[in-house]
Structure 1
Amino acid sequence: MILVIDALNRDRFQSVIDDMFQLRARVFQDRMGWDVTVEDGREFDIFDNLDPVYLVALDDSYNVIGCNRMLQTTGPHMLTDVFQDILMGEPPLRSATVWENTRFCIDTDRLKQPGSTRSVSATACELMAGIAEYAYESGISDVISVVDPAMDRILKRCDNAPHGYLGQTVQMGKTKALAALSDITEERIARIRNFAGITGNIFADEDEVADALAARSTDDTMSPDLRDYCDEQIAAATTEHEKRAAVALRAALAQTIRSSSDIRATPQ
């Protein structure tokens, strides 16, 4: 599922954002060796201060398994302000209907763990579909992505090939970078979905996620058996209604246990 986080709801999902920054540090610094700034195990840059939109992929237990960042090009953005060498002297890209997509990454370590119900490729495709669908519904006509050649090949393999490129491929630190331009159309969305076999709504319900995170924050008050039971009920849900009911049950149980603990702790 894809959770959309923006300036309007980011206060509800600070724990998700924190996990996302930690994932970015593991991927871009530790695995890929990019020259990025990491503090306290979290990768964060000046563009995260500009109220971007984050699309975060979550597994069935609401763990972060992928993410990306989208930013309007009418203000500062990476292609114009960091990777300007790609443009080879061309004017800065500025358009209200063209957004920039960066920091796309997948938690391959978590997804390859025993018991994982999600694959790396399925998660990547769902995130790509989320980007295209969010952009389409938001009136965005094109998305520009600063990628390395490996990511460019992945886009093509997933039937999500860019329809053009800006500037040229240049060396950026330990890797090369290029600016891929993708038109946002119903046809592109259909291609990604057909390639990955995606059906139905892929976007998470905000309230459901918030309730689940609140319940998880009090999981230390629940017995392991009760925790496992709740997790099993959520994982076994076959419809959105069943899943919401299982999540609500977990939240209610956690709240009941927490309230009971508060009463016992209150001086009589």
Structure 2
Amino acid sequence: MIELVDISSASNFVGNPLAEQHKLRYRSVIERQKWDVPHHNGLEYDEYDNPAAKYLIYRDKLGIARGVSRFYSTHLPYMLEEKFPHFVTKIQIPKDEKIWEGSRYCIDHKISPKTRQDIINQLGIAYLEMGLNAGIDGIVGLTYPVFWKKLFIDLGWPIEFIGDVTKLDNGHKAQAAWLPVSQAILDNVREVTGIYETVLYLGINNDNKKAA
């Protein structure tokens, strides 16, 4: 199950999923990857963690976040536009309510490879279920080329690179991509992952809208 949470819906979930995803991000990008980004009391955050942000969160039975990804509409000022526009060279920088940015994709590195892959599979399905429910056309983002393959391409998602591989300030190479959202792609990802049930959970006070 993947929880879709924002600041206005957080009370519909058991525990504190928003705090948990900030903790996971701290473990992933501060402790493990040594990013130079803001953090406080074991929580990683930036200026895009605000009321407009949405989060897909996988939590274990103890309520600990083991997987997360953040989303933000590109009609607002967003990270790829403001921080990394030079990574987008093959199209104009998206600026559209029907195009969202995905960022801060983190999986807990301490869990087993099998559990990690299960979370990756569920997050891929949740991306598409969320996108279809919201009526968006697609998602843009920036990450390492090997992550694009492992997290999306290997799931059967035909992504399109919208810029060349370019070095980040930390020396690592990254690439921007476009992830189209459609029912056909969701159907294909379900076939590849073997996940046919709905994974998206909107909270106890919501009627979950189910993508087919």
2:174 aligned with 1:194, yes or no? Answer: no
The alignment partner of 1:85 has SS state of: helix
Equivalent in the alignment of 1:134: 130
For 1:124 and 1:160, the matched residues in 2 are separated by 13
The alignment partner of 1:47 has SS state of: coil
For 2:148 and 2:197, the matched residues in 1 are separated by 27
Structure 1 residues 120-199: aligned runs within 5 Å: 120-154=116-150, 155-162=152-159, 164-174=160-170, 175-199=172-196
Deviation at 1:12, TM superposition (A): 4.5
Write out per-residue CA displacement over residues 221-244 of structure 1, whole angstroms, 9 at most, x where no aligned residue.
Answer: xxxxxxxxxxxxxxxxxxxxxxxx
Equivalent in the alignment of 1:249: none
Relative contact order (alpha carbons < 8 A, sep ≥ 6): 1 or 2 greater?
Answer: 2
The amino acid that maps onto 1:5 is V
For 2:12 and 2:201, the matched residues in 1 are separated by 14
Note the residue ranges of structure 1 that are not aligned, 5 or more in a row: 209-268
Please say if residues 98 and 140 of structure 1, whose CA atoms lie closer than 8 Å, have aligned partners that are also in contact.
Answer: yes
The alignment partner of 2:95 has SS state of: coil
Please say if residues 38 and 45 of structure 2, whose CA atoms lie closer than 8 Å, have aligned partners that are also in contact.
Answer: yes
Deviation at 1:142, TM superposition (A): 0.9
Alignment length (residue pairs): 203
Please say if residues 126 and 199 of structure 2, whose CA atoms lie closer than 8 Å, have aligned partners that are also in contact.
Answer: yes
Flag the 1:35–1:139 CA change in 2: closer, same or farther, 3 A: same
Equivalent in the alignment of 2:210: none
Identical residues among aligned pairs (%): 22
Note the residue ranges of structure 2 that are not aligned, 5 or more in a row: 206-212
* Superposition TM-score, scaled by structure 2 size: 0.86
Please say if residues 86 and 167 of structure 1, whose CA atoms lie closer than 8 Å, have aligned partners that are also in contact.
Answer: yes
2:10 aligned with 1:10, yes or no? Answer: yes
For 2:45 and 2:92, the matched residues in 1 are separated by 27
Deviation at 1:158, TM superposition (A): 2.1
Bigger share in strand: 2
Deviation at 1:92, TM superposition (A): 3.1
For 2:31 and 2:64, the matched residues in 1 are separated by 20
The alignment partner of 1:129 has SS state of: helix
The alignment partner of 1:180 has SS state of: strand
Deviation at 1:11, TM superposition (A): 4.2
What RMSD, in angstroms, separates the aligned Cα atoms of the two structures?
Answer: 2.3
Please say if residues 4 and 202 of structure 2, whose CA atoms lie closer than 8 Å, have aligned partners that are also in contact.
Answer: no
Please say if residues 66 and 105 of structure 1, whose CA atoms lie closer than 8 Å, have aligned partners that are also in contact.
Answer: yes
Deviation at 1:138, TM superposition (A): 0.7
Equivalent in the alignment of 1:214: none
Higher-Rg structure is 1
Write out per-residue CA displacement over residues 5-59 of structure 1, whole angstroms, 9 at most, x where no aligned residue.
Answer: 1243124557211111010011112222333222211110000024211111123
Deviation at 1:123, TM superposition (A): 0.7
The amino acid that maps onto 2:53 is P
For 1:37 and 1:191, the matched residues in 2 are separated by 38
